[in-house]
A and B are shown apart, each in its own frame.
Chain A
């Protein structure tokens, strides 16, 4: 029998340490545990590593706002050389995929069925209109208004084609007029991918930060492991921080992975500094994790937690962050809501750090807002989590 060890155990040192309000060794133990769990659960891996890749890929390739090869019909009612030349001009552009026709009814049905997004009619009297003394419209453009975005594109582009064609055959002095020369800063080739992929990173981080955190904390309540942990000397702050640190690390890892994917695979430039990107991501994780924690503290149930995380975290990050839909274009009450959504600030800064550079006047207010929302979430979550089982 080892009496030596026995007397040693009576020492006050461990007991003293156990009563510390915040103890790093206990925290380390909790972090270690949480990390092991995260790594072992296949659904964590799916959400943290596979889904981000799929999402970034889809945002890079599937969700392209650049309209290319829109299918339209060109109804050539006139046989004149000029009409045929215009039809050829339509066929020659890479933005349109033309289905030639002789009569309207050949293509009208296809617009209804959605095969074509519109059609251009070069009328029988095209030659006469071209030569007319009184200015007359030359062609008619019909678009599929059920897709307003595409309809706009078809209208504008058809207009452009006709104007260019007419300018090309124009003789004599150039006409007085105003021409705009658009130049797209930060994104000269105007690839929507470059704007969307940085925004998609915000979505990915919301999923990891909010959704996953909400689920894992709720699971702890549901499985009864929280009761066992609460009965140890670990403090509420240690338990919460211990829960969050691994997901913070996971979020940062996912950011780095996504950024690498964006830069090296999807060809998005990183014009700002990596340090700024990391700082932004780290600060964004405060409200993201705080929200997850708050949700799980309020529900203590996985199903409800996931539903609320979906409706209050993921969907707003997707629809109300300005990443896809312009916030400025929303009605004022909804614009007010967007101020409460941390992803709003993150998206704006992310797009800037990738495409524009380190523009601190953009970053600083965004960082402040994210930190403030995060602190609020944490304060409420801390209040709602007591060190006992009282509801």
Chain B
């Protein structure tokens, strides 16, 4: 009797899972919408999302025209990040170049720049930076500082000009930005994918009336929820693995850690996102509400996740809020696994919050579906 019941449950569940999968994948157009955009975005955004500065324009206002100002100008012009150096003859011209966004920064060297250096003094150059691009501006200043230090080292014979610090960047010695972006984008794109798929799933059935049909059948609420979880879990996992493979084989991001630890974390991450998606879906009356709801949850999630800027830079309240977001934890795991070979203990420290989020959201989604019957 018990066995008979079990197989019965399995048949029901199986039918529903097949139905959910087919709803997503039978139509070639929707198949395309599920897989193509995330992969395309990974390609485009990997190259687009960089906080480095390259191809920059720099203005030089050289009132000195001495040996060291020429030297500094030449080195700036030769620097990798500089595309073009504009020589200007007035402060106004410099200002105009910055106003018009032709250059990100301008070097202004006073008439006694070389003389001061020759005298063993410090030659001071002003750097005017476009504050509209505050981040790129700061990075540019950093690059220029390094060049200036080099010039200074050649100029001075004092030992104090040697660099007092040895710097080693662990995990990513050359600070290749792509190594950071690709794993992070994997998390973000899987997040949106799973969120949209599940956010629409119940709302669509409700709008089209098939949900009632499901509710009068012998299937239980738990089965309905499980059936909605499985395809999203499957598709998002495939997508995630595909992107991890792209990261390793196409973008050559080193996978230092254990894939065997990454996989279960990925599953748990998707599960927690699916929970959020189903929660949105179970309270939405129409597809439009579900889409906009997913959007209203998804975008702030990405901003708070620590992808754009580290969580620890945020105000305390937002740091707490960030802990409620699955993506925050998964980013730590995926970056840690790829680059840092993070040990199991550290990964588990970030997976249990995922498990808690999944448990809470899925329970709530089940509750909401059930309470809709009242």
Contacts and interface: CB of A to CB of B under 8 A. Distances in A.
Interface string A47-85: 100110011001101111111111100000000000000
A304 B29 contact: yes
Interface stretch (B6-14, B133-141, B354-362): B133-141
A334 B175 CA distance: 22
Contact of B167 (A143, A180, A330): A143
Contact of A331 (B47, B159, B340): B47
Nearest to A68: B313
Contact of A55 (B54, B55, B300): B300
Contacts of A93: none
B130 A178 contact: no
B158 A175 contact: yes
Contacts of A303: 200, 204, 287, 291
A303 B122 CA distance: 64
A177 interface: yes
Interface string B280-322: 0000000111011101100110011000111011110010001
B interface majority secondary structure:
helix
A146 interface: yes
B367 interface: no
Contacts of A18: none
A183 B134 CA distance: 11
Contacts of B68: 178
B55 A329 contact: yes
Interface in A253-309: 302-304, 306-307
A325 B171 contact: no
Contacts of B226: none
Nearest to A207: B295
A139 B49 CA distance: 33
B175 A148 contact: yes
Contacts of B289: 42-43
Given A303-B200, A328-B54, A175 B169 contact: no
A348 B101 contact: yes
B47 A330 contact: yes
A139 B164 contact: yes
A137 B175 contact: no
Given A188-B131, A195-B134, A112 B336 contact: yes
B137 A178 contact: no
B53 interface: yes
Interface in B189-207: 196, 200, 204
Residue from A50, A70, A177, A219 whose CB has the most chain B CB atoms within 10 Å: A177
Given A113-B342, A176-B122, A58 B50 contact: no
Given A174-B120, A329-B50, 5 more contacts: A63-B303, A135-B162, A166-B160, A178-B124, A319-B49
23 contacts: A67-B310, A133-B159, A139-B164, A139-B165, A140-B167, A146-B180, A148-B177, A173-B120, A177-B117, A177-B161, A179-B125, A181-B125, A183-B128, A184-B134, A191-B134, A192-B134, A195-B132, A304-B33, A307-B196, A325-B51, A328-B104, A328-B136, A361-B99
Q: What are the 3 A-B residue pairs with the smallest beta carbon separation, nearest first?
A: A187-B131, A145-B172, A177-B152
